[in-house]
Amino acid sequence: MNVTGVGATSATAAQTGISAATQKTGMDYDAFLKLLVAEMSNQDPLNPTDSTEYVAQFASFSSVEQAIQTNKKLDSMMTVSALTQANSLIGQTATSADGTLSGKVAAVRAVNGVVEAILESGDSLPLISGTTVG
């Protein structure tokens, strides 16, 4: 019996699953389960993987997935908090850190996690370190 062939198939299947998952932004549950099924289908019949290893892999993946979801929600909450604070700037004069842009704040918005002041002139001023208001 040629055990090397089975091991090579398993590595190829695993690499294919990893490559497909990497093309997305990250591995999701479907990709993980496909990889797990491929690993189980192509394991060495003389030295099968212990089922507790599969449970441990799934538990680890679930923990990482939950941490990612928690971080996304925290980022969203931070953006909402920053927007709430930035609302108090409406009607005040804001000046960029380098002093090249200045004007009265008409509105605020969040773009890709960065809070910007929209000046009455229509210009956008990122509210970053060094921006002065008053």
Whichever domain contains 116, its CATH number is 2.30.30
Q: Do 110 and 66 fall into the same domain?
A: no
pLDDT at 128 (0 to 100): 87
Q: Do 74 and 16 fall into the same domain?
A: yes
Length of the chain in residues, anyone? 134
Q: Do 10 and 62 fall into the same domain?
A: yes
Q: Do 91 and 118 fall into the same domain?
A: yes
Domain count, the chain: 2
- C-beta of residue 90 within 8 angstroms of C-beta of residue 108: yes
pLDDT at 28 (0 to 100): 72
- C-beta of residue 110 within 8 angstroms of C-beta of residue 82: yes
Cα(53)–Cα(107) distance, integer angstroms: 54
How big is the CA angle at 40 (ends 38 and 42), to the nearest 5 degrees? 65
DSSP state of 43: S
Q: pLDDT below 50 — which residues of the chain?
A: 1-24
Cα(114)–Cα(125) distance, integer angstroms: 10
pLDDT at 26 (0 to 100): 65
Q: Do 66 and 108 fall into the same domain?
A: no
Q: Do 90 and 119 fall into the same domain?
A: yes
Q: Do 88 and 77 fall into the same domain?
A: no
Q: Do 88 and 58 fall into the same domain?
A: no
Q: Do 77 and 12 fall into the same domain?
A: yes
Q: Do 76 and 87 fall into the same domain?
A: no
Q: Say which residue the tokens 């001023």 belong to.
A: 125
Residue type at 103 in one-letter notation: G
Q: Do 122 and 94 fall into the same domain?
A: yes
pLDDT at 4 (0 to 100): 35
Cα(26)–Cα(49) distance, integer angstroms: 25
Sheet containing strand 114-119, edge to edge, reads 124-126, 114-119, 102-111, 93-95, 132-133
pLDDT at 8 (0 to 100): 37
Q: Do 98 and 125 fall into the same domain?
A: yes
Q: Which two tokens stand for residue 87?
A: 């609302």
pLDDT at 92 (0 to 100): 93
Residue 75 lies in domain: 3-43+50-81
